[in-house]
Chain A
């Protein structure tokens, strides 16, 4: 009875070392952070797919997926300005401090991915959590564990394509097939125009020995799931991540459940097979 559990609600301070404006509308930025106290960093061991609660004292907390790969030195969060906390973060400058607690949630099923062809299908800011696992797989220490890697990415406009530095690097790699599309072209854009599910249909990837990993707006995911199923992907080989309104991130506050599953501890990564067993309430 005297055992004193550690307080899970205390944020640990991190310093912003770099802010990258990602979108032409400037509403999406990547924040690269380093630990103020290195021992906090040693305790923060994460894998692709996980998220953290970001905290701005006076504004509150918001759950944000980790977009960096554990193979990279610093933590990165790609944040779209949406609510009170993300707006407060957007007002911050390099050198400012914010709080982080986590890592929370499950991870992408890396064991399932080993030895397979990997097909990524991302829309908009849905690339943020997938970028973590993409860069993890493309790291020299892991690339040999996976066969063909295909990345399909789309955004509303060319200016909304995020992580352009990574997109370029992926496009230049001989061991990656990278294809992008936009819903609407803009002046000076010579690339593909069309929705992500259409690009998927045109690409028509073979389901044999392939895992599909998708994240994006709900309407995109809906059509991607339909297309993948028509292409013959079994539901166990389709992986997606969900989001719900969250507060605690540790399965106590009762907010992010879909049926008996809590997105914060049972997710955010689910297979389509798991999704099919859930009540349709997300």
Chain B
């Protein structure tokens, strides 16, 4: 309906107004330039999200008060609650922060955005900011044409600020000229009727412009020249607060379920805040007057009073909602759930890969990392069950001989069926998503992405090798030839040991343990290889197994070797943190093949 009827209608109204009123053209141009400035500013800040902002976000949102503080500070600096909302949804989508932290940031962003009203009311209208706009635009454009991403980012920020200042200037000029021909304040409506009408106008204006900041600047400039009454400006500000949730709602459409829950939390918070502001509007106005008197603000300085009002009702909203955050999270988790179609039941799909994380390279990498860990968990289960081993027994302190006696099921599971259901879709999604994510990444992240793709491939191939190995494990399980039966029991026992080591590596933070286990896996890969340790030759020479059995054993040794090396390589990528001591030393600490052979020679 919007594209068919409303959008052309909006264009027609705008065209008519431009033709009939040059002042309206000035105001509209001011809004358009201001919005363009915000886009440019967002683009500039996005250039820096690969490093600093992401790290701050990761480290400063572990507690609720910290996440609220982060929301306030980041929005005050970037002057865009929309960017902070999209960034939060992106990090939530990537699983880097939880829903509670996300809600905290959004609450803080609501308060942080009020600093915009203060800046415009205190400086924007008193100083001729257009004089600063021109040099900023010139320097900004010069920087944008540079090759360096950081310089480009600075360029976009400068250009953004320049356009913001220029936009405010045009809006101010337009309203001042407008005043001489028409006085909009004659249309002001008093009482609760006026309150509701102007709240709706505020909501509509913000939904159209998708920026409460732009609406608020428009309100303040109109208020400064007396085109709207103070009471109506307050109502417009309340409306803008409700309308701003549209950005998070649009952003969440392409996000996962947590992103949608966050957008719902944003809407609920802003509706509750608006309800409080409406219900206690006259009491809040009294508080504003009291504070204004104490802050030496003139009684008729309505622009600054509006800024105080905006800050007060958002602060009240946060104070009222903080005690209910846990309940709000529980409610949203129950109310918004993922529904699977009957065809999808039993099939596992990617949990962290969604459009919202593609906004920022760091969240894209984090999401792929989390998804690969998801793939690892599924692969681990399939490999363990494919070998008919119980995961609880693998992860226990039981002796490995006891572990292999603890069968997962009476019959071996169908590895291929589980591969189709639990691996194939996720792997396909990781590869497709990585290809798209690569377009937004720098060289450092591309290398990390490549390693993650290799880790995913290693996991998939380990599962496939387990499938091939399983045929003979079933065939020679409780076989009348005790020699071949023993060899296949050994294979199961060695792989149970490998899975136990991999599980320990995935759980521990002790780097010396990780290094030792990785080296042990490499050593045992060589040590337990029956084609090179002489066991197979012995069995053939003594005629303890048939030729067919010997061929099976030789082929299966290759599958075992593949599973061991691939899981070891995967663990190195997935569980050694790149910024840890071990991660920094990379391959420097790995033991070489010749060192492994030396150790084995000594034993012989």
> Are the chains A and B members of one assembly?
no
